Amino acid sequence: MSEEQHATLVAEQFDDQVQQYQAASLGMWVFLTTEVLFFGGLFASYTIYRYLHYPGFEIGSHHLEVLWGATNTAVLICSSLTMALAVRAAQLGKIKDLIGFLVVTLIFGLIFLFIKFAMEWRHEYLEGLAPGVNFTYAGPHAHQVEMFMIFYFVLTGLHALHMIVGCGIMTTLIILALRGAFSKGHYNAVEIAGLYWHFVDIVWIFLFPLLYLIGGRY
């Protein structure tokens, strides 16, 4: 690689590409740590209310559609695979593969969001399970069930927001890749976007059992 090329690829505060790469990846991991604590506040509240209001949480959970939850889990796992393959393609400098995998990842992300909103949220809203907007459930433990649904909406909502951001990032990466912004040895953005994407996947991996599987389904 020539000197000029080197200069354009390394920001001026860094000495070399290795330092830049390490800083970017450390930065992303630290950011994900803040995300863990960000979701953590909700997970802690969820845990405590689940402990306090177990009967209502169980009833609320049983109003959710396990099959959609499981399907969406699978969708996200598939998207994680394609994301990992996208990073791999970037590592090897196979830009065409990279673009392909990014597009597939984006599509999986959109499928997830479609299922989440159009299949699930809409359904729960119509069933009268949306606290503050349309909550008509009047069976046993109504307030507890409402509390569960609050956490369901806040947790999945926040997660969906992260998915939307993720889809935005995917789109940006695709455009950048099309413009030839990535090359072998220069793919930091892809790698750290991948970290973000997998993290969002992990959040869902926990949300699925915590929201859909309370008390089992037997």
Partner 1 sequence: MGTVTTTTLQQPQAEEYRVHYLNAKYGIKSWLLTTDHKRIAWLYLVSTTFFFVIGGVAAAMMRLNLVSPQGAIVQPETYNKLFTIHGTIMIFFFLAPAVPTVLGNFLIPMMIGARDVAFPRLNLLSWYIFITAGMIFIYSVIAGGVDTGWTFYTPLSTSYVNTHVISAAMAVFISGFSSILTGLNFVVTIHKMRAPGLTWFRLPLFIWSMYAASLIFILAMPVIAITMVLVMLERLFHVGIFDPALGGDPILFQHLFWFFGHPEVYILVLPAMGVISELIAAFSRRRVFGYGFVGFSSFAIAVLSFLVWGHHMFVSGQSVYAGIFFSAMSMAVAIPSAVKVFNWTATLYKGSVSYEAPMLYALGFIGLFTIGGLTGVFLASLGLDVFLHDTYFVIAHFHFIMVGGAVMGYMGGLHYWWPKMTGKLYPDYWARLAACIIFIGFVLTFGPQFILGFEGLPRRYAMYPPNFQFLNIMSSAGASILAVGYIMPLFYLVWSLKYGPEAGPNPWGAKGLEWETASPPPVHNFDKTPVVTEEAYAYGAHPAPVTTAAS
Partner 2 sequence: MSELVSHVERKKVYVLVWVVLLCFTALTTGVAYIDLGAFNTVVALAIAVCKASIVVLFFMHLRHSEKLIRLVVGVAVFWLCILIVISLSDFATRFRISRPSWPQSQPVTVHHLDMSPGTTTAE
Which is nearer to partner 1, 143 or 184 (by Cβ)? 143
Q: Rounded CA gap, 127 and 164, in Å?
A: 25
Judge contact between 8 and 181, C-beta under 8 A: no
Task: Please tell me whether residue 143 binds partner 1 under the rule CB under 8 A.
Answer: yes
Report whether 164 contacts 171 (CB < 8 A).
Answer: no
46: nearest Cα among 207, 159, 213, 215: 207
Partner from partner 2, partner 1, none binding residue 110, C-beta < 5-8 Å depending on class: none
Please give the helix or strand (H or E) that residue 178 lies within, else none: helix 142-178
Distance between CA atoms of 86 and 101, rounded to whole angstroms? 5
Which residues bind to partner 2, rule: CB under 8 A? Answer: 1, 6, 16-18, 21-22, 25-26, 29-30, 32-33, 36-37, 40-41, 43-44, 47-48, 51-56, 66, 70, 73-74, 77-78, 80-81, 83-85, 88, 91-92, 138-144, 184-186, 191, 194-195, 198-199, 201-202, 205-206, 208-210, 213-218
- Annotate each residue in 54-83 with x if it binds partner 1 (CB under 8 A) or - if it does not, as one string: --x---------------------------
Residue 34 near partner 1 by CB under 8 A = yes
